[in-house]
Chain A
């Protein structure tokens, strides 16, 4: 039973709150000999695995460190270019660490505004009249639940596919939002939520749901 994260999107599609709850770390470290048996590409300021899945290293994983030195963009801290290093046989054997790329806050804002039109198109393409937008979006690794309030605010929870009772949880989060964000005199609508009480209550709520199920909240 894992809840990965909670997002709140305002009426106009901006991300006003996000909370990473239990995001698993996917990391693999391995010693490589020359030549490399995986194909690396440089894209979006990251070095990404393009081909050759092996020992837990998957396509799309990002190179995070070389011989325990962290990688920034395509360079090490001392300014050496990583791709040049990897094409030179003298640097081998070499210890490389790969991990699934983490979403930055910017990417989260981008994704939140991307969900907004998806939600709208889903209701427009409906074969039945008077249809709502996406309520549950399922992939093989997670399920995204979305609850839109009457005022247009969207609450989203990303959780394991087996986790039950997420619709009730969303309504509880809405309650917390009404109690601790909207009643906070320093909170202005449509702006990011920075209310300590809201965060602590949300944290406890998520933990109780994970530990003892939805029936106890």
Chain B
């Protein structure tokens, strides 16, 4: 199993953090462009799902699967978006995303007064803890 990469978006489309572990395919654009494309796609998927859903959605979008990778999505009520790409054999990555939010993001970004909200995360501690958590997860 592999974890490919991770995007964290704020509620207003800023890419807060990007990390990558195993990525073979470079998309051929800059990181900013790619983040915009990704955010745009997620935004469209969200409204697509809202319209096409036969019942009232609660969590909405959970994940999508292609032939090579799975994109796992978690959105908090405050609009923060976590996107983790893994391979197709990983199940229930949502737990890891929730852990990432509550144990890493809240602990090392929200509780750090030096971290500006809605701006890219610079904290070295956050970076290390995140890396540690992902590498110790069974999906890696």
Contacts and interface: CB of A to CB of B under 8 A. Distances in A.
Interface of A: 4-5, 23-24, 26, 58, 60-61, 100, 103, 107, 111, 114-115, 117-118, 121-142, 144, 158
A111 B57 CA distance: 17
Contacts of A114: 44, 48
| Chain A interface SS verdict (over half) | loop
B56 interface: yes
A33 B66 CA distance: 51
B25 A128 contact: yes
A131 B65 contact: no
Chain B contact-residue range equals 35 or more
B106 interface: no
B1 interface: no
B60 A126 contact: no
Chain B binding site: helix, strand, loop or mixed by DSSP?
A: mixed
B5 to A, nearest CB: 6
A211 to B, nearest CB: 19
17 contacts: A4-B54, A58-B56, A60-B50, A100-B56, A103-B51, A121-B40, A124-B27, A127-B20, A129-B25, A131-B67, A132-B67, A132-B68, A137-B45, A139-B62, A140-B57, A141-B55, A142-B54
Contacts of B51: 103, 107, 111
Name the residue in B20, B48, B87 with the highest tally of chain A Cβ atoms < 10 Å from its Cβ.
B48
A139 B41 contact: no
B99 interface: no
A138 B45 CA distance: 11
Contacts of B63: 138
Contacts of A144: 52
Given A127-B85, A137-B64, A23 B22 contact: no
Contacts of A139: 49, 53, 57, 59-62
Given A139-B53, A142-B54, A127 B64 contact: no
Contacts of B68: 126, 128, 130-132
B44 A122 contact: no
A159 to B, nearest CB: 10
Contacts of B61: 137-139
A81 B61 CA distance: 37
Contacts of B87: 128
A128 B25 CA distance: 5
A122 B37 CA distance: 10
A60 B53 CA distance: 12
A117 B44 contact: yes
Given A114-B44, A118-B45, A138-B64, A131 B53 contact: no
A128 B49 CA distance: 25
A158 B4 contact: no
A61 B25 CA distance: 43
